Amino acid sequence: MVEKQMMGHHVDRSICAWFWHQYNHHRNNDQMSVVTSPTHYLFPLIRHGIIFLACTQLELPPLLPIEFLSRFADILSDYLCAGSGAGATLNEDIVKDNFVIVYEVLDEMMDNGFPLTTEPNLLKDIVLPPNLVTKVLHAVTGNSSPSVGPTLPHAAASTVPWRSTHPKTTTNEVYVNLVEQLDASVNWDGNLRRCQVYGEIQVNSSLPGFPDLTLSFTNPSLLNDVRFHPCVRFRPWESSQVLSFVPPDGHFKLMTYRVKELKKIPIYVKPQLTSDSGNCRISALVGVRNDPGKTIDSIIVEFQLPPCITSADLTSNHGTVDILADKTCRWSIGQIPKDKLPSLSGNLVLEPGLDRLHVAPTFQVRFKIMGIAMSGLQIDKLDVKNMPANPYKGFRAQTQAGDYEFRS
């Protein structure tokens, strides 16, 4: 399915057909970020099976369309999936159901090939997101719900474009959530090659008026790299490593950071492969190494069977093992039981003529730990100024696996 809109010069739809052809041909070495077609430069972005494609004929910073597309995809899923329950991702049907909104949002976000309004709060005032109330109203009265806001939000005129100033019914609370991704890579001999945390500070704020927040850390020196939401003021950070900002309404990503050179990993995988005379025995053990003090949830170990393997027979003493269509082997463990170490064992049959397995698959691990930030970053306090009543403040933390891999 194709959705698009022309800006300025006419671009023929056939470019999509061209791209589709190329895409299907080169499925295996996917994720080209800049494609040169005979007539245009294309910037594809693939999210949840939907392809967003931008194209240009002229020189421009390539990150601009790439960044715009991912922003557009974010906003679109924010718009369309919020109503249909948590965890819903963008899919073809949702886009189809709301195609008018997609058009309207895109029109507001882009003018003559340049991004116009990309602040989600602003956009939501101009093009109203579909929600249950309008849907019910729609159904009862038979009138189609207005999808366009009545007037220009004042924020468009203010110096703080990310915050809408007209008062809404707010609950006067603010939540700060540390979401960290742990990247680790362990060598075949069990040495930790690399371990780092990529984290985001997600804030959900529903504060009335014009609040001014200050967030400080107990150990800011941990932070290796940082990037900020535009609302963060640079000066206080430069001088005293404090985040001072006027928050937008709702959910947003205040800051992303990286903590490098960590020494401890919570989970280990010990893979072993031995092979002779056309057979390869595989075994893998999973265990907790440095107990983080909280339960480790939804552990999944995945590895790609090498192409030279014709058949595989794998069993485990805990959890389920599936071999997917693309020769990916997925071992879903869940939580590690108290009494035993989960282990996987089995036999792989190599292609005829091949005696030994000379390649080594990489084991990727996914997990989730609630209530802890593996980097050790701690929030000291959150000050709220400019507020009539003291709001409720909540803090959470969570760590999940990023590029967490074990080589065999």
Partner 1 sequence: MLPQMGAAAESLSKASSLVMRIGTDAHLYDDPDDVSIKPLLESRYDSEKVDALKRLLALIAQGADVSHFFPQVVKNVASHSLEVKKLVYLYLLHYAEKRQNEALLSINCFQKDLSDTNPLVRAWALRAMTGIRLHVVSPLILAAITKCARDPSPYVRKCAAYALPKLYNLHQEEISSLEQLVDVLLRDNSPAVVGSASVAFNAICPNNYPLISKHFKRLCEALPDVEEWSQIILIEILLRYTVARHGLVRESVLFSDVTHDSTFSSVMSRCYVEGHELWSGDGRGFEEVEMGTCKNEDVDLLLKCTAPLLWSQNSAVVLAAAGVHWIVGPAEEVKKIVKPILFLLRSSSVAKYVVLCNILAFAKAAPLLFDSFYEEFFISSSDSYQIKTIKLEILSTIATESSVPFIFGEFQDYIRDPDRRFVADTVAVIGFIAKQLAVLAGTCLEGLLKLVLSEPLVSGSYQIEEEDGVLVQAIISIKSILKQDPSSHEKVIVRLVRNLDRIKNSASRALIIWIFGEYSSMGDVIPKIAPTVLKYLAWSFHSDEVEAKLQILNTCAKVTAKTKGNNEDSTLFKKILNYILQLATFDQNYDVRDRARFIRNLMGNKTKNNLDIYRDLIESMFCTKPASSPYPSANIRVYLPGSLSQVVLHAAPGYTPLPKPGSAVIENPTGLNNSSDVDESEGSSPQYSTEDNRSGYDTGTEETSENGDYEETPLVNISEANVDQGQTSQNDMSNFVSTDLSEMMSRTALESWLDETPSFSNGSFGQSHSQNVSTSNARVSFNDRNFKLKPRKSHVLLEPANSDGLRISYSFSTEVSSVSPLLVCVDLLFENFAKETLRNINIRFEEASGNSISGPTDPVLEDSASMVSPDKIPTFPMEEIPLLSPNETVKRILQVRFQHHLLPLKLHILWNGKMHLGKLWPDIAYFLRPLSLDMNSFVEKEKQLPGMFECSRRCIFSDHLQELEQNEKISVNADKSLVVAHCFAVKILSSSNFYLVSMDMPVSLKPDDMSGLCLRFAGEVVNSSKPCLITVIAHGNLTEPLDVTVKLNSEDTVFGLNLLNRLVAIVQ
In this complex, which beta carbon is closest to partner 1, that of residue 363 or of residue 391? 363
Size of the site for partner 1 (CB under 8 A): 105
In 189-223, which positions are buried (b, 16+ CB within 10 angstroms) versus exposed (e)? eeeeeebbbbbbbbbbbbbbeebbbebbbeebebb
Residues 132-151 that bind partner 1 (CB under 8 A): 135-136, 138-139, 142-144, 146-151
In this complex, which beta carbon is closest to partner 1, that of residue 196 or of residue 316? 196
407 binds partner 1 (CB under 8 A): yes
Q: Is the CB of residue 303 less than 8 Å from the CB of residue 366?
A: no
| Minimum gap (Å) between residue 321 Cβ and partner 1 | 19
295 binds partner 1 (CB under 8 A): no
What binding mask, one character per residue, do residues 148-187 give for partner 1 by CB under 8 A, x or -?
A: xxxxx---xx-x-x---------------------x-x-x
In 296-324, which positions are buried (b, 16+ CB within 10 angstroms) versus exposed (e)? beebbbbbebbeebeebebebebbebeee
Residue with tokens 């003559």: 112
Count H helices and E strands in the chain, helices first: 7, 21
- Rounded to 10 degrees, the C-alpha dihedral 89/92/98/101 comes to 80
Cα 277 → chain centroid: 44
324 binds partner 1 (CB under 8 A): no
| Minimum gap (Å) between residue 195 Cβ and partner 1 | 10
Q: Is the CB of residue 367 less than 8 Å from the CB of residue 300?
A: yes
In this complex, which beta carbon is closest to partner 1, that of residue 232 or of residue 369? 232
Helix axes 63-81, 99-109, angle to 10 degrees: 140
In this complex, which beta carbon is closest to partner 1, that of residue 174 or of residue 243? 243
Residues 349-388 that bind partner 1 (CB under 8 A): 351, 353-356, 358-362, 364
Residues 217-236 that bind partner 1 (CB under 8 A): 224-230, 234
In this complex, which beta carbon is closest to partner 1, that of residue 299 or of residue 391? 299
| Minimum gap (Å) between residue 181 Cβ and partner 1 | 9
296 binds partner 1 (CB under 8 A): no
In this complex, which beta carbon is closest to partner 1, that of residue 306 or of residue 376? 306
240 burial (CB, 10 Å; 0-12 / 13-18 / 19+) is exposed
DSSP letter at 387?
-
Q: Which stretch binds partner 1 (CB under 8 A): 289-297, 335-343, 346-354, 389-397?
A: 346-354
| Minimum gap (Å) between residue 185 Cβ and partner 1 | 7
Residues 2-31 that bind partner 1 (CB under 8 A): 2-3, 5-6, 8, 10, 13, 29-31
| Minimum gap (Å) between residue 134 Cβ and partner 1 | 8
Q: Output the CA angle 34-103-110, nearest 5 degrees.
A: 55
Of residues 258, 314, 336, 399, which one binds partner 1 by CB under 8 A?
258
At 391 the three-state DSSP class reads coil
Residues 55-94 that bind partner 1 (CB under 8 A): 56-64, 66-70, 93
Of residues 12, 33, 381, 394, which one binds partner 1 by CB under 8 A?
33
278: left (phi over 0), alpha (psi -120 to 50) or beta: left
DSSP letter at 289?
S
45 binds partner 1 (CB under 8 A): yes
**Rounded-to-integer distance, Cα 278 and Cα 192, Å:** 31
| Minimum gap (Å) between residue 343 Cβ and partner 1 | 22
Of residues 103, 204, 297, 345, which one binds partner 1 by CB under 8 A?
103
Q: Which two tokens stand for residue 113?
A: 């090939």
